[in-house]
Structure 1
Amino acid sequence: MFGFLSRTRSITSLGLTPPAPLPGRQGLALVLIVRNEARHIGEWARFHQRAGVAHIHVYDNGSTDGTLAALEQAVGDLASIIPWDQKLRDTRRGLEIHNQVLAYAHAVRNFGGRYRWMSFIDVDEFLVPKQAASLPEALAHLEGCANISLPWHMFGRSGHVEPPEGGVLPNYTRRNPDPMSEAKGLRNFKMIVDPCAVTALKVHEIETGGGITCNDRGEAFTNRSRTDRSFYSADHIQLNHYYTRSDSELRAKIARGPNLTTPDADHLRRVMRKVAAIEADEVQDTAAADFLARSGGPL
């Protein structure tokens, strides 16, 4: 299943030798690949700083809109920048190598030995402590796990045509009620892992030996069986995915295209199917705002 695998047009899975743990390794590091997110990156970085991350390794995929300046202003040296503006191909088959997967593999090998935990998320994704005062505290009972899978909680436009004042977290509070839905594109995961155990990775699946992953209660499943409804838990950490933000930002997202080279019409259809599924039925969710309220108020 893992190793150096390919789809028809792209290579999306990489195998690697895990890094050796360094003495005194500790904390949670985030890995982010980003391009032109100046409007939102400050809120994202400050939130995770508030939530207790040790460092943010940012792979800049050619930002031109002030993203990096906004990041530095928000959190200073909590974040470090790696230039990552590239499209690479396998010369024998002509297959594009997924730039995001390359970034993740580079981060694991070059920085992973410093940390107990590492997670790989996007600017539209937030790791929300549900009960604890911080993410490290929320992870404390999971020391026996090398791999934790967190299901997406998919948020839509919440009625916003244009970006509202005040940021994402207070303004986008409606999401699809079923993180384990089999509807197209709604059920997926991001992981928090022990980087010194990683042997292979894709964007939404990481191998840490034995094909075992835990939910946030510490219950073990296989990577395949994590799609069972019995896997679901967001008792300790909830992964919020603000997939659309406002309608105008959704249109801009579609215009930017996907991470891999995909025909525009296919990309449009895929995105709009997912948006329709998210917004077909919604519930109110204030988990992120609740964390901010108990941890010091607005960012």
Structure 2
Amino acid sequence: MSVPLTSSVPCEPIGITPPSTLTARELDLQQQRRCLAGRPGWRPPGGYLAICLAARNQHAELPEWLDYHRRLGVSHVYVMDDASQPPLGEVLAPYIEEGLVTHRYLEDYAAIQQELKDTTCHDPQAHHRQMMMYALCLRDYGARHQWMAFIDIDEFFVFTDGTDDLPALLRGFEEYGGVGVNWRFFGSSGHKKRQANTLTAYTQCYAGNEEVHRHIKSVVQPRFTARMEGPHHGAFAPGYFAVTTSGSRVEGAFAKKPTYKRLALHHYVVKSREDFEEKMARGNVMGEESRQESFWQQIESQAVKTCYGGSKAWQRMFGKEQQAEEEEEQGQGMARRRPKGGGKARS
């Protein structure tokens, strides 16, 4: 567990152009991260790339999501547990033991809100629990990593160009504050019950040029990032900004147009009918109203294009292993069925 960075800089706005709500203390904390990363021979002690994940009662979904993103080169995942019942610790135990996951169970948000206000001078809205989680990730763990991604458990990074892993891609963007990755929305593909594998089961998607796909989610460099301004984008130090994977500048939570050059963020926003009903009951960590039946109908009516990118990504990553396991199981089955005395049956 890292020791949070601290600052005694006064709580006052900074005078930069364009106007910003960032405080001088937030920028001081950002500069501390930058100074630590600028030391000769510095290597990120927690690994090159981390993900900050806000989760609640998503026990069944975590293993698949973690196993997949670990294969993409993610060094560490900070699971910020929004008072799950039971806590997510049991399902996370093997990942914690191997060093992939840090689990933080969060419940007293009034105390967290006051602590963040005291340490950063920024007062997150009390109902925006996800933004408090993101602030804790950046403050407590940002100095441990070169990059930190802020995505949800129904979102999966999918390469579109055959890149080997996320670090290989991100090394080409280290001059920027962050990388914005455009959404690609997926529907239920007609599934009523929860599916064992998200990437292979859901193949019906929105057309690529839909307006909703202008939304990005962010992978930021903590040394250049003062705050996560919202669930989609960061607020960067003066002189720094985010770009898409095609290199165009991102303003806030939206790209000028969707781009899937090199990388996409598949957003499995409803999954099966069973999953969607659980999501409605679970609620939203941003304090927003739960999505209702009209949202389901909207997604289903627009997810009419067939997209196999996720299925192909899974196959590249796990297909050979699964085939080998199946062949081994079949071989063991044949051995069990083979009569004693050799391969031929006795007459």
Using the size of structure 1 for normalisation, the TM-score is: 0.82
Equivalent in the alignment of 2:272: 246
Q: Which amino acid aligns with 1:159?
A: G
**Would you say the 8 A contact 1:133–1:295 is kept in 2?**
no
Equivalent in the alignment of 2:329: none
> Does the C-alpha gap of structure 1 residues 187 and 275 become closer, same or farther in structure 2, counting only changes over 3 Å?
farther
Q: Which amino acid aligns with 1:3?
A: T
Among candidates 210, 220, 234, match of residue 206 of structure 1 = 234
Q: Aligned partners of 2:296 and 2:194: how far apart in 1?
A: 20
> Does the C-alpha gap of structure 1 residues 274 and 197 become closer, same or farther in structure 2, counting only changes over 3 Å?
farther
Counting matched residue pairs gives 279
Q: Aligned partners of 2:303 and 2:242: how far apart in 1?
A: 29
Using the size of structure 2 for normalisation, the TM-score is: 0.71
Equivalent in the alignment of 2:247: 218
Equivalent in the alignment of 2:175: 144
Post-superposition offset of 1:4 = 7.0
- In the alignment, is residue 61 of structure 1 matched against residue 61 of structure 2? no
| RMSD (Å), alpha carbons | 3.0
**Would you say the 8 A contact 2:159–2:263 is kept in 1?**
yes
- In the alignment, is residue 3 of structure 1 matched against residue 24 of structure 2? no
Q: Aligned partners of 1:188 and 1:274: how far apart in 2?
A: 19
Q: Which has the higher contact order (CA 8 A, sep 6+)?
A: 1
> Does the C-alpha gap of structure 1 residues 233 and 187 become closer, same or farther in structure 2, counting only changes over 3 Å?
closer
> Does the C-alpha gap of structure 1 residues 77 and 158 become closer, same or farther in structure 2, counting only changes over 3 Å?
same
Q: Aligned partners of 2:72 and 2:242: how far apart in 1?
A: 23
Equivalent in the alignment of 1:119: 149
Provide the secondary structure at the position in 1 that maps to 2:57.
coil
**Would you say the 8 A contact 2:158–2:265 is kept in 1?**
yes
Q: Aligned partners of 1:221 and 1:260: how far apart in 2?
A: 23
Equivalent in the alignment of 1:194: 221
Shift >6 Å, 4+ stretches: none
**Would you say the 8 A contact 1:152–1:188 is kept in 2?**
yes
Gaps of 5+ in 2: 1-18, 115-122, 323-347
**Would you say the 8 A contact 1:118–1:193 is kept in 2?**
yes
Q: Which amino acid aligns with 1:27?
A: Y
Post-superposition offset of 1:119 = 0.3
Q: Which amino acid aligns with 1:24?
A: R
Post-superposition offset of 1:59 = 0.9
- In the alignment, is residue 98 of structure 1 matched against residue 117 of structure 2? no
**Would you say the 8 A contact 1:30–1:118 is kept in 2?**
yes
Equivalent in the alignment of 1:11: none
> Does the C-alpha gap of structure 1 residues 197 and 78 become closer, same or farther in structure 2, counting only changes over 3 Å?
same
**Would you say the 8 A contact 1:124–1:242 is kept in 2?**
yes
1:121-200 alignment to 2 at 5 Å?
121-130=151-160, 131-164=162-195, 166-178=196-208, 181-182=210-211, 187-200=214-227
Mean Cα displacement is larger for which, 38-47 or 21-30?
21-30
- More helix per residue: 1 or 2? 2
- More strand per residue: 1 or 2? 1
Larger gyration radius, structure 1 or structure 2: 2
Gaps of 5+ in 1: 6-13
> Does the C-alpha gap of structure 1 residues 88 and 177 become closer, same or farther in structure 2, counting only changes over 3 Å?
farther
Q: Aligned partners of 1:73 and 1:282: how far apart in 2?
A: 38
Among candidates 96, 110, 128, match of residue 140 of structure 2 = 110
Q: Aligned partners of 1:272 and 1:34: how far apart in 2?
A: 24
